[in-house]
Amino acid sequence: MRVEVINTGTELLLGQVTNTHLGFLAQSLFSLGLRVERQVTVPDGLAIAEAFEEAMARADLILVTGGLGPTSDDITREAVAEAFGKKLIFHQEILDGIAAKFAERKFVMNELQRSQAMVHEGGVVLQNKFGTAPGLIVEKGKNVAILLPGPPNELRPMWENEALPWLKKRFADQLTLGHEITLRILGMGETRVQILVEDEVKALGPVEVGYCARPGEVDLRLIAPDQALVEKAAALARAKVGDLIYTEGGETMEQTVVRLARVARKTVATADSCTGGLVANRITNVSHSSEIFRYGWVTYANEAKMTELGVPAELLEKHGAVSEEVAKAMAEGALRGSGADIAVAVTGIAGPTGGTPEKPVGLVYFGLAKKTGATQVLQKNLSPQRETFKYMASQIALDLVRRALV
């Protein structure tokens, strides 16, 4: 079954809104053995009809996001009706449901909402519990169109609770489970991973190997026709890459850290300088982080390092804030002040200014202190681009905690 996605919305093409639909839908479809072969993004209006008619010639399943609202630029419903030669029929019960939602929120419903109660002849209505525009499923010949609302908070529950169950039932005899393992690797580039892994993995059998590179890390994607083969390929990759693999699947570094800390019943504290609190922020973005996160300090200024973490003034005067000695003192101060099991500290030069020949932009030191054992200090030279630097530094800091936990 060939699958295409059409994303509608002028705001997407103006860069005002980031399109997150493809990643969500593609991962969900892959679990059924389906892959998105093409994605297009078009502005509101007549371009929707043109994109849909082109997709009909290629694809069996067409997912359209957006354009189901009540305003004049929301014409997805009409474009599909014209392309499929289907009449749009008014459903009073849908309009009554919309009116009830307006009344519940003490809003006044206007006549424009009526367009959202129009359903294609023979179409399936997908309930929208978080908005007013219902989703729709329309079929004609080999083509199946699933029309979904644009806002992610409406699209995602509708897809999982309404569209996906319908899809599984309608095409039960054509769907096969996908077998995929993604290994997330920190501290090794994609070409090095390929040299280490690819030839031996492919020698095992029909294994598809793919890479997704990000600053300082890479995802190694393995896909095979059966579970046993993909697990064998993953085991080989693990043996080659070792503990640079920080997780499998879609788990983030911070999710990994929180999970491991909860299992180990360990607590964590942070001392951010150049990252401006990003390490602590990422940890606390994870559910249940309150079970493992003790304290977080943002000690951007030297005075803060001294008064909050007890970093000796002579260390700062002799070695500077960006130094092995200060990173060590920061971590030990955070451990001492928090009573946590593990404390990580970061101090560096985020740029784009502030560097010297001895301490260039991108230089960063990490300190990791534990209740038992010596404090560890790590030096890295990262990207001179400020936001990239901060993300990479926070990733390495979290990875130090991960390694301490395992």
pLDDT digits (tens, 9 = 90+) for 90-114: 999 999 999 999 999 899 899 999 9
> Is 175 a member of any domain?
no
pLDDT digits (tens, 9 = 90+) for 15-28: 999 999 999 999 89
If asked whether residues 125 and 55 sit together in one domain, one would say yes
Long-range contact list for 317-326, CB < 8 A, 24+ apart?
A: 320/359, 321/273, 321/347, 322/274, 322/347, 322/348, 322/349, 322/359, 322/363, 322/364, 322/365, 323/347, 323/365, 324/365, 324/377, 324/379, 326/365
pLDDT digits (tens, 9 = 90+) for 327-352: 999 999 999 999 999 999 999 999 99
If asked whether residues 203 and 131 sit together in one domain, one would say no
Q: What is the pLDDT of residue 178?
A: 67
Domain that includes residue 224, residue range: 180-248
If asked whether residues 266 and 382 sit together in one domain, one would say yes
- Given 170, 197, 216, the domain boundary residue is 170
Q: How confident is the model at residue 33 (pLDDT cuts 50, 70, 90)?
A: confident
> Is 325 a member of any domain?
yes
* Domain count across the chain: 3
Q: How confident is the model at residue 167 (pLDDT cuts 50, 70, 90)?
A: very high
Q: Can you list the positions of beta strands (E) in 227-301? A: 245-248, 268-272, 293-298
If asked whether residues 57 and 70 sit together in one domain, one would say yes
pTM as predicted = 0.73
What CATH number has the domain bearing residue 207? 3.30.70.2860
If asked whether residues 221 and 329 sit together in one domain, one would say no
- Given 151, 170, 189, the domain boundary residue is 170
> Is 229 a member of any domain?
yes
> Is 372 a member of any domain?
yes
If asked whether residues 128 and 272 sit together in one domain, one would say no
> Is 366 a member of any domain?
yes
pLDDT digits (tens, 9 = 90+) for 226-252: 899 999 999 999 999 999 999 997 799
Q: What percent of the chain has pLDDT above 90? A: 91
If asked whether residues 243 and 261 sit together in one domain, one would say no
Query: Over 80: is that where the pLDDT of 177 sits?
Result: no
Q: What is the pLDDT of residue 349?
A: 97
CA geometry: angle 44, 47, 53, nearest 5 deg: 130
> Is 302 a member of any domain?
yes
Question: Are the C-beta atoms of residues 372 and 340 closer than 8 Å to each other?
Answer: no
Summarize the confidence of residues 262-278 as an average pLDDT: 97
If asked whether residues 261 and 233 sit together in one domain, one would say no
Query: Over 70: is that where the pLDDT of 372 sits?
Result: yes
> Is 144 a member of any domain?
yes
> Is 80 a member of any domain?
yes
What CATH number has the domain bearing residue 142? 3.40.980.10
- Given 215, 231, 248, the domain boundary residue is 248
SS3 per residue for 51-87: HHHHHHHHCCEEEEECCCCCCCCCCHHHHHHHHHCCC
If asked whether residues 190 and 339 sit together in one domain, one would say no
If asked whether residues 50 and 96 sit together in one domain, one would say yes
What CATH number has the domain bearing residue 281? 3.90.950.20
pLDDT digits (tens, 9 = 90+) for 117-159: 999 999 999 999 999 999 999 999 999 999 999 999 999 999 9
If asked whether residues 63 and 109 sit together in one domain, one would say yes
Query: Over 90: is that where the pLDDT of 175 sits?
Result: no
If asked whether residues 185 and 73 sit together in one domain, one would say no
Tokens of 194: 């390929």
